């Protein structure tokens, strides 16, 4: 079917308010798929698709080979999530660490599947996350294809997600960030396919994946909420259509409340369960000025991070939006974007706060939860702050222009973009309010925003192969991003191996772990729950007579220095892992 014929058929179906006997609107059950570049695009089975997916998979395997997944240690607070898997596999009990705040049910089941086959270990859990990461990238490729993007543009979308620094680094952990992002991407791709193409199986699979995501992290509630927004805004209101829009929301709320009740009644509820919700309520109960100030700062920093991570797609997304603007408007808009970029960049540099402004994954050293490796050059972070500002403001301006042309978009694209955009906004909303912000919380937003960029790059029509200039800019930026992501993760994993070996050597000498300050990650892994206060990592030690770190500690003598082979240009030959002993200890 030709593209024009598809769009006409879509419009006719979309504005019909009749429903079938089940009460589900025809517009959501039997609409033709959105425009595709070829008949094979809908099923992602053509030769170009197979080639692109092979490229994606081989690139992921190459990244794994460079980084190296070996190592029996956690790299973040994934030690807490591993507790449940270990109890399930070895003791056949459902147990949760008091440290976790997420639902953590399906993530534990996912890890247990691999542990049953390969045995319980951090390497096995790391493998489970790496597989989830590949599935998430493939799902985003399929989502882009069914939205009408060419194989080349769909491959760009998948690369932009999979080689994002957060995605790469967290794929080598057992944190829930990557599996949740993958489940969310699969869910949204299938729900979109079911809604726009009338595929009942895709719809069922999509909601199953969405439920899987919810039982991993509470923010999975964003999927049914965004689905409701997309249907309410784009369809004529009828009782049946509105019921179909809100039914998934009611079901997911019931599941979440039922799960929380199950945890409470069986004595399995972690002490920190739902901590972020408590912090948000406390913030909202405080002075309004503090809430507004925090939200404003979050939005500015969010613009910087998303501008940096979506930077490779900026040219393709912004060009169609600005193409139809008059020369005078383009000139004024360019001046505004440049002025805003310089203002924010100069202000942040003057205050001594260039990127990165948040913590936990991206640090001054590169990637890693502690940030204690060799610091990257200040000039690099200043340049990245400038690039993030310019890209972020450009993406925001392009999004505003696209929204002003809302009525020009085919209804299929309107629904799809609203579904993706609403999901990203709902995920961002609680982060804007809570005082506890980790940079990795932004990761689940990326597939949704990447899809907005991909669909927006088509200008509302058929999503053809990207222009040559856009391709060149994308792949140059993507190559730099991927190199940073892979090499930084590789260096961090190398550092953790040496770090863990140094701690293990002290323990083998008969020194108990509660006397070794190995950083909060390994302190939590070895000591959490034995003593101390759950919410205070500083109490997870008794007498820190020894310290293992990458920088000298005041009051301690260095008794051993273990070299770390790093590959990042600013880190080669620098910052070994130091084993130190308190001066008062004989």
Q: pLDDT, tens digit, for every residue of 176-213?
A: 999 999 999 999 999 999 988 878 899 999 999 999 99
Q: Indicate whether 20 pLDDT > 90.
A: no
Are 349 and 416 in a shared domain?
Answer: yes
Alpha-carbon distance 65 to 59, whole Å? Answer: 10
Give the model's pLDDT for residue 373: 77
This prediction has a pTM of 0.90
Are 396 and 520 in a shared domain?
Answer: no
Q: Which helix (H) or strand (E) holds 384?
A: helix 378-404
Give the model's pLDDT for residue 234: 87
> Rounded to the nearest 5 degrees, what angle is found at the Cα of 539, between the Cα atoms of 360 and 275?
55
Domain edge (last residue) among 465, 489, 513: 489
Q: Indicate whether 280 pLDDT > 90.
A: no
Q: Indicate whether 444 pLDDT > 70.
A: yes
Structure tokens at 383: 């340049």
Distance (Å) of CA 170 to CA 74, 104, 441 = 11, 16, 11
DSSP per position, 278-307: HHHHHHHHS-HHHHHHHHHHHHHHHHHHHH
User: Residues 298, 431: contact at Cβ < 8 Å?
Assistant: yes
Q: What tens digit of pLDDT does each residue of 288-347 get?
A: 888 888 889 999 999 999 999 999 988 888 888 888 788 899 899 999 999 999 999 999
Distance separating the N- and C-terminal Cα atoms of the chain = 82
Residue-averaged pLDDT of the chain: 88
Give the model's pLDDT for residue 574: 78
User: Residues 137, 157: contact at Cβ < 8 Å?
Assistant: no
**Any residues with CB less than 8 A from the CB of 292 and at least 6 apart, and which?**
none
Q: Compute φ and ψ for 68, nearest 5 degrees.
A: 85, 110
Alpha-carbon distance 523 to 519, whole Å? Answer: 6
Give the model's pLDDT for residue 15: 36
Alpha-carbon distance 550 to 333, whole Å? Answer: 47
Are 231 and 274 in a shared domain?
Answer: yes
Q: Indicate whether 25 pLDDT > 70.
A: no
At 310, is the secondary structure helix, strand, or coil? coil
Give the model's pLDDT for residue 436: 81
Q: Indicate whether 18 pLDDT > 90.
A: no
Are 155 and 182 in a shared domain?
Answer: yes
Alpha-carbon distance 343 to 336, whole Å? Answer: 10
Pairing status of strand 516-517 against strand 546-549: parallel
Give the model's pLDDT for residue 530: 87
Alpha-carbon distance 211 to 109, whole Å? Answer: 13
Least confident range from 243-257, 545-559, 565-579: namely 565-579
Least confident range from 230-244, 366-380, 454-468: namely 454-468
Are 24 and 40 in a shared domain?
Answer: yes
Q: What tens digit of pLDDT does each residue of 371-428 get?
A: 677 889 999 999 999 999 999 999 999 988 888 888 888 888 889 999 999 999 999 9
Alpha-carbon distance 392 to 379, whole Å? Answer: 20
Give the model's pLDDT for residue 458: 66
Give the model's pLDDT for residue 239: 83
Distance (Å) of CA 114 to CA 88, 95, 132, 192 = 12, 18, 11, 30
Are 186 and 292 in a shared domain?
Answer: yes
Structure tokens at 368: 């890693």
Domain with 518 in it: 490-582
Tokens 């069922």 map to which residue?
204
Domain edge (last residue) among 489, 521, 544: 489
Are 143 and 222 in a shared domain?
Answer: yes
Are 544 and 478 in a shared domain?
Answer: no
Q: What tens digit of pLDDT does each residue of 462-514 get?
A: 444 556 777 888 999 999 999 999 999 999 999 999 999 999 999 999 999 99
Q: Indicate whether 34 pLDDT > 70.
A: no
Q: What percent of the chain has pLDDT over 70?
A: 90
Are 447 and 496 in a shared domain?
Answer: no
Are 484 and 500 in a shared domain?
Answer: no
User: Residues 160, 315: contact at Cβ < 8 Å?
Assistant: no
Handedness of CA 506, 508, 509, 515 (dihedral sign): positive
At 582, is the secondary structure helix, strand, or coil? strand
User: Residues 151, 98: contact at Cβ < 8 Å?
Assistant: no
Give the model's pLDDT for residue 266: 96
By residue count, the chain amounts to 586
Are 401 and 498 in a shared domain?
Answer: no
Interior/surface letters 347-377, b for 16+ CB within 10 angstroms, e for the rest: ebeeeeebbbbbebbbbbbbbbbbbbbbbbe
Alpha-carbon distance 499 to 518, whole Å? Answer: 8
Alpha-carbon distance 159 to 141, whole Å? Answer: 9
Overall domain count for the chain? 2
Q: Indicate whether 55 pLDDT > 50.
A: yes
Are 494 and 458 in a shared domain?
Answer: no
Q: What tens digit of pLDDT does each residue of 142-162 get?
A: 999 998 888 999 999 999 999
Distance (Å) of CA 427 to CA 348, 442, 445 = 26, 8, 7
Q: Strand runs (DSSP E) across 471-532, as ranges?
A: 516-517
Tokens 């804007």 map to which residue?
432
User: Residues 33, 42: contact at Cβ < 8 Å?
Assistant: yes
Alpha-carbon distance 174 to 126, whole Å? Answer: 6
Give the model's pLDDT for residue 11: 39
Structure tokens at 542: 């008794």
- The interaxial angle of helices 122-146 and 151-162, nearest 10 deg, is 150
Domain edge (last residue) among 474, 489, 504: 489
294: exposed, middle or buried (C-beta count within 10 Å: 0-12, 13-18, 19+)?
middle
């Amino acid at each position: 079917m030709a593209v024009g014929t598809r769009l006409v058929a879509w419009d006719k179906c979309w504005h019909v308010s009749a429903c079938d006997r089940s009460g589900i609107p025809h517009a959501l059950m039997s609409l033709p798929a959105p425009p595709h570049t070829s008949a094979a695009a809908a099923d992602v089975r053509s030769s170009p698709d197979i080639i692109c997916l092979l490229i994606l998979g081989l690139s992921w395997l190459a990244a794994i080979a460079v980084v190296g997944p070996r190592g029996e240690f956690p790299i973040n607070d994934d030690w807490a999530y591993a507790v449940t898997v270990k109890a399930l596999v070895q003791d056949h009990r459902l147990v949760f660490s008091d440290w976790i705040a997420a639902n953590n049910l399906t993530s534990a089941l996912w890890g247990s599947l691999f542990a049953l086959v390969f045995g319980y270990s951090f390497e096995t859990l790391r493998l489970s996350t790496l597989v989830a990461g590949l599935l998430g990238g493939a799902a985003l490729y399929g989502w882009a294809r069914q939205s009408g993007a060419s194989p080349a543009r769909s491959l760009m979308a998948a690369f932009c997600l999979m080689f994002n620094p957060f995605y790469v680094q967290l794929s080598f952990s057992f944190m829930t960030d990557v599996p949740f992002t993958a489940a969310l991407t699969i869910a949204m791709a299938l729900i979109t396919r079911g809604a726009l193409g009338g595929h009942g199986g895709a719809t069922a699979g999509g909601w199953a994946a969405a439920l899987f995501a919810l039982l991993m992290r509470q923010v999975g509630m964003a999927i049914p909420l965004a689905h409701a927004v997309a249907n309410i805004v784009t369809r004529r209101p009828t009782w049946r259509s509105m019921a179909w829009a809100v039914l998934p929301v009611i079901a997911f709320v019931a599941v979440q409340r039922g799960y929380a009740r199950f945890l409470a009644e069986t004595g399995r509820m972690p002490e920190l369960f739902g901590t972020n919700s408590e912090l948000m309520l406390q913030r909202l109960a405080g002075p309004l000025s503090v809430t507004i100030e925090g939200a404003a700062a979050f939005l500015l920093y969010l613009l910087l991070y998303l501008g940096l991570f979506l930077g490779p797609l900026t040219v393709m997304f912004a060009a169609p939006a600005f193409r139809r603007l008059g020369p005078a408007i383009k000139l004024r808009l360019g001046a505004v974007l440049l002025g805003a970029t310089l203002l924010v960049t100069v202000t942040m540099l003057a205050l001594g706060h260039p990127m990165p402004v948040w913590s936990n994954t991206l640090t001054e050293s590169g990637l890693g939860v502690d940030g204690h490796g060799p610091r990257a050059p200040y000039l690099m972070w200043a340049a990245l702050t400038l690039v993030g500002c310019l890209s972020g403001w450009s993406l925001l301006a392009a999004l505003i222009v696209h929204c002003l042309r809302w009525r020009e978009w085919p209804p299929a694209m309107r629904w799809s973009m609203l579904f993706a955009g609403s999901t990203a906004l709902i995920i961002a909303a609680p982060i804007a309010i809570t005082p506890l912000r980790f940079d990795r919380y932004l990761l689940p937003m990326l597939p949704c925003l990447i899809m907005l960029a991909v669909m927006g790059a088509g200008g509302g029509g058929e999503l053809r192969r990207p222009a040559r200039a856009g391709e060149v800019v994308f792949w140059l930026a993507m190559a730099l991003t991927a190199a940073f992501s892979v090499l930084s993760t590789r260096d961090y994993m190398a550092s953790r191996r040496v770090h863990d070996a140094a701690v293990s050597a002290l323990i083998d000498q008969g020194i108990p772990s509660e006397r070794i300050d190995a950083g909060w990650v390994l302190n939590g892994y070895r000591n959490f729950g034995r003593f101390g206060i759950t919410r205070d990592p500083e109490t997870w030690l008794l007498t820190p007579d020894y310290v293992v770190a990458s920088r000298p500690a005041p009051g301690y003598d260095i008794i051993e220095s273990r070299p770390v082979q790093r590959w990042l240009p600013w880190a080669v030959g620098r910052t070994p892992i130091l084993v130190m002993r308190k001066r008062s200890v004989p």
